[in-house]
Amino acid sequence: MELKRDLEIGVQIYVNKGDTPEELRGWVRKAHHAGLRIVRVFLFWDIINPRKDVWDFTVYDAIFDEVEKCGMKIVGTMWAVNPPGWMNLTDYFANFGDLNDPEYWSIALDYVEKVAGHFADHPALDSWVSWKEATRPLVKNPNSLRDFRKWLKDHYKEIENLNKVWFNQSESFETVGLKPGNAIQNHKHLPNSLDWERFMVDNLCEKLRDIYNTIRKKDKVHPIYVNPHNTGLNMLSWGQDPWKDAKEADFLGLSNHIPHNAMRIIQSPYKFHQYIAYQCDIIKSATPDPNGFYEVTEMHAGPTIMTGHLTLTPSAADIQHYTWEAIGSGASRVIYWVLNWRKSGHEPYEWSLSGADGTSTYRLDELTKITDIIKKHQALFDAAKPKDPDVYILYSTLSWQLAEWEGGTVGFVRNPPDDPNSPRNTMYAPDGMCGAYQMLSDLGLTVKFISEEKIINGELPSNAVLVAPSCMGAEEKLYGALDGFVKNGGTLIADFMFAMKNKYGFIPDPPKSKDVLDRIFGGVLYDIISDPNTFELNDGKYMPEGWFLRISFKPGSGEVLARDAEGAPVILRNSYGKGTAIRIGTTFFQRYMTKPLKKNLNYLHDLLPQKLFTGIHLSNPDGELRLREMISADKRILILLNSSEKAAKAVLDFDGTKGKLISLSSDETHESDGISAVLVSLNAGEVKQFVL
């Protein structure tokens, strides 16, 4: 299915139980008046099917018809995983039914088929969300255990293969059980826990596939997608893996809520805007659409009072930054959560773009300003794509799994298990990936994430730069893929205990895996020192700070770049074939997320190929001052973002490119002679957009 990019800003209209058709039509008109072009709604099972065998589409028909009348489009979100009140299976309309119960799931898919059939041919329909923020806690019960045993049989084939890996031994797959954990006993045998979590992910994807295929019975035309959430956090234990979700959708959306998502960002709040970009770039990287089509399905729009991990109301500047960060990342649509107040549940009075009695707020007014810019230059934005990545970051799902089960072990650590200030917390792998993104972003570089599977399948360009942060785990085939990547001209930079455990949390066997790493990095692992204190690494210039681990090597062909206080080599650089590999023997990237040291940033700058800092670029990026670049036919869109509370002056280096920089929202212009830097002034919190 080929998807066409039409840059659009939209909003969720929340359908409260008891809302009248005319009330909902009024909200549609309000969205249209604000310049918004997309409306998203939850197709609540409990409203559409209020009693057994009773179906009532009245309020939704009103919304769809008014959306068509206004010349807008609508996204319908299925609600199959949350049963209606008449079934008496849960105590809240957003709680989960037992999706592994065949009887319940059959009824749920009947609901999907009925809804898809009702709206499939409606002119206002744009697309379907198969499952809002597809996650769930999978309870261990007879239904899930039955399906888990089947999953084990599909993966291990013979019971003897399972018994070789698991501690608990079984006569057959039908007798496999799961032992309850005991908080008094600190030790874990990882394979059974990891297998259960992998089953949770695959089982959720199976349900996504069921919903997708059921919609397709009635609708062969409109795209179907899912919107992962908390993408910077480890959600595997809730069944979420964006890379696998992508296989069950035509494209990916994203819920991007700072109050929910950014509670691990403990530096200054300017990082919140960067975190919006971080989550956008994750989904941009994982979306299955060949042209990179993705959207932000939910963006933080209003106050959090009793919900969210942070109490936060976006300012006018926040709305500008949220939206332009998403657009600069390549989002085809940005949909805000939410236009109107919820009247019940957990969020009354919260999250809304509107005030009391539907009055407009500065937040909605700010969105209207953005839509005015887009409309004025619609063709330019519709044709735009983000620039190619400067650097790839390895998204190691296996390492995320190991972090969750090994990190923050109760009984062994003093800090809370997920405390970002603890280097071995349950999210050390996501934290490392976030820290790497922040460093590269603070250096002004464009990032794309890549999974192990894509590297193994040869989708990493041979001349790329790959950063592997906090990636302790590795699939067996990854070693050979990395060997070929570096040998053929790639650059690999890895920190921490890179690729030192397999998918079961064991030291890789056969030893050839270790031999590949030694050959790539030009040195042999000598010792690992865990250190409760930070320490300096002597590189003769920056003296970067190390954290948690001092991993020393016996260098072979590798050049020693830095040593610890005892003189042991801890950072190696090796020329291997046509490429280069650098191994940093400490927790380098994860540390930056908790303490963004300038000397560590400067050190990384010098490690990277300097060709990355050519072309049109911002000469003075610092995290608070950022540049997003997009390519639109023969033009370039430059989006400058100043998150600082102070005015800033962006120094743009055009590196030989001549032309005129024209503002998309004012009469401001700048000339580039290709030699001299162009200076652009930005007020505190300001965003500017230019075309070159």
Q: What is the 3-state secondary structure (H, E, C) of 409-458?
A: CCCCCCCCCCCCCCCCCCCHHHHHHHHHHHHHHHCCCCEEEEEHHHHHCC
Percent of the chain with pLDDT over 70: 96
Which contacts (CB < 8 Å, 24+ apart) does range 188-194 have? 188/405, 188/406, 188/409, 190/402, 190/405, 190/406, 190/504, 190/505, 191/165, 191/166, 191/167, 191/504, 191/505, 192/166, 192/167, 192/168, 193/405, 194/401, 194/402, 194/405, 194/503, 194/504, 194/505
Please, which pLDDT band fits residue 612 given cuts at 50, 70 and 90? very high
Please, which pLDDT band fits residue 408 given cuts at 50, 70 and 90? confident
Of 455 and 1, the structure prediction assigns the larger pLDDT to 455
Average pLDDT over residues 24-46: 98
For residue 676, what are the contacts with CB-CB under 8 A and spacing of at least 6? Answer: none
CB-CB contact of 321 with 299 (8 Å): no
Instruction: Name residue, tokens 């499939």.
Output: 120
pLDDT > 70? residue 127: yes
pLDDT tens, 450-481?
A: 999 999 999 999 999 999 999 999 999 999 99
The radius of gyration of the chain's CA atoms, rounded to the nearest angstrom, is 26
pLDDT tens, 232-251?
A: 999 999 999 999 999 999 99
354 by DSSP, 3-state: which? strand
Count of beta carbons in the 10 Å neighbourhood of residue 417: 15
Count of beta carbons in the 10 Å neighbourhood of residue 142: 10
Whole-number pLDDT of residue 84: 98
Its sign, for the CA torsion 44, 47, 52, 57, is negative
Whether the pTM exceeds 0.85: the reply is yes
pLDDT > 50? residue 411: no
Tell me how far apart the alpha carbons of residues 262 and 242 are, in angstroms, rounded to a whole number. Answer: 18
Check residue 229 and give left, alpha or beta (phi > 0: left; psi -120 to 50: alpha): beta
Which stretches of 157-261 are DSSP H helices?
159-165, 190-218, 242-245, 258-261
pLDDT > 60? residue 54: yes
Whole-number pLDDT of residue 187: 62
pLDDT > 90? residue 403: yes
pLDDT > 50? residue 410: no
Of 511 and 269, the structure prediction assigns the larger pLDDT to 511
**What is the 8-class DSSP label of residue 181?**
P
CB-CB contact of 245 with 288 (8 Å): no
Whole-number pLDDT of residue 576: 98
